[in-house]
Amino acid sequence: MTTSTSRITVRPMTDADDLATLDAGNPLGWMTAWWSTLTESMDLRWYVALLDGEPAGLGVVCPLPFAQGGYGVGILNVRPEHRRRGVGTALHAALAAVVRPELPGILYQHVEGDAAAEATARAWGFSVVGTHHESVLDLQAVDRTAYEAMAAAPGVALDAVDPAVDDRSWRNLYAFVRARFQDAPDAEGGGGDLPFDAFREMLAEPWQLAAAHDGGRLVGVTLVVARPGTAGAANTVITGVSPAARGRGIATALKAWHALHMAERGITHVYTQNMEGNEPILAANRRLGFVRAAGHVDVVCSFS
């Protein structure tokens, strides 16, 4: 789909170089870079906006019910020198045209306190549905003795998961992770439907996924991906514990054990984003020494 006005043209992105050029300076740009590795499995649709023939912005949308309420998810960035000229409006219209036939709306994020983004969201009639705390842990500064003490929960075995496990094991892991996405506070009202192929694609190295077992039964996982644009850094995708096993310190133990495991493999920093109000995981992060780095505001465009 290509759309044009007298000055603005929006077309599907065909040149990979556009991604680096158009996402430059975007505080959430690492997310766009990570999404670029999942294009096939997530059915992502990428668009470039041209202003008077010059690349001015990019948009990407996932037309799957991944966000809470069964919404799609999108990223939209316009280069600062081209803002307030209708480029973002044109890009959003292109993304909405992809999602509208199938889903109730799109969820976007912007950095907390970004006055321009807040004004745009209000002007477009978007609703604020939540805020995520982004925190970072410096693995080079952790107290290893203290971490080793935290990296245990009574009756629970902690270990890394090797990506070379058989397909049945992958399917079992996927079912557990998918369930944790769906019962997380972020997914209240539905959503969190991570495709199996995307789950497999994002996990290629043994240091990325750790699991907790109680009597051989899987009760918890934590998984990370490399954080694009930040050398030596990982970003947490999810830490989840089955409902019946909560309240036993398993999440803290998993994150502590995994942090030591990652540090041994050269990872220097771990980032995580957690929804405001999810006090159990925020408290675990504080105990582990995560430091608040930023806030991300979730806003939704509803089609109804």
Which alpha helices (DSSP H) does the chain contain, by range?
A: 17-22, 29-35, 39-42, 87-99, 115-123, 144-150, 167-183, 196-202, 250-264, 279-288
Sign of CA dihedral 236, 242, 243, 247: negative
Mean pLDDT along residues 128-144: 95
pTM for this prediction:
0.89
pLDDT, tens digit (0-9, with 9 covering 90-100), for 81-130 = 999 999 999 999 999 999 999 999 999 999 999 999 999 999 999 999 99
Model confidence at 6, in pLDDT bands (50, 70, 90)? Answer: confident
Residue 278 has pLDDT above 90, yes or no: no
CA distances to 3, 40, 73, 90, 95 from 10, rounded to whole Å, are 5, 21, 19, 7, 10
Q: What H or E segment, with its residue span, contains residue 234?
A: strand 233-241
Residue 189 has pLDDT above 60, yes or no: no
**What's the DSSP call for residue 36?**
T
Q: Is 86 exposed, middle or buried (0-12, 13-18, 19+ CB in 10 A)?
A: middle
CB 142 within 8 A of CB 151: no
Residue 136 has pLDDT above 70, yes or no: yes
Scan for tokens 């975007």, then name that residue.
26
CA distances to 5, 91, 266 from 300, rounded to whole Å, are 26, 15, 38
Mean pLDDT along residues 10-21: 84
Q: What is the DSSP string of 237-291?
A: EEEEE-GGGTTSSHHHHHHHHHHHHHHHTT--EEEEEEETT-HHHHHHHHHHT-E
Q: Is 231 exposed, middle or buried (0-12, 13-18, 19+ CB in 10 A)?
A: exposed
CB 90 within 8 A of CB 5: yes
- The pLDDT score that the predictor gives to residue 222 is 96
Instruction: Label each residue of 101-114 as H, E or C.
Output: CCCCEEEEEEECCC
Residue 150 has pLDDT above 90, yes or no: yes
| CA-atom Rg of the chain in angstroms | 20
CB 247 within 8 A of CB 241: no
% of the chain exceeding 90 in pLDDT:
71
pLDDT, tens digit (0-9, with 9 covering 90-100), for 234-259 = 999 999 999 999 999 999 999 999 99
Alpha-carbon dihedral of residues 246, 248, 249, 255, nearest 10 degrees? -50
CA distances to 11, 81, 122, 245, 301 from 84, rounded to whole Å, are 20, 9, 14, 50, 19
pLDDT, tens digit (0-9, with 9 covering 90-100), for 61-79 = 999 888 888 899 999 999 9
Average pLDDT, the chain: 91
User: How far, in whole angstroms, is CA 259 from its chain's centroid?
Assistant: 19
Higher pLDDT: 178 or 192? It is: 178
- The pLDDT score that the predictor gives to residue 277 is 84
Structure tokens at 245: 């096993």
Residue 152 has pLDDT above 70, yes or no: yes
Residue 181 has pLDDT above 90, yes or no: no
Model confidence at 164, in pLDDT bands (50, 70, 90)? Answer: confident
- The pLDDT score that the predictor gives to residue 280 is 85
- The pLDDT score that the predictor gives to residue 291 is 96
Mean pLDDT along residues 45-50: 95
Scan for tokens 């465009």, then name that residue.
301
User: How far, in whole angstroms, is CA 294 from its chain's centroid?
Assistant: 14
Least confident segment among 117-131, 214-228, 229-243, 273-287: 273-287
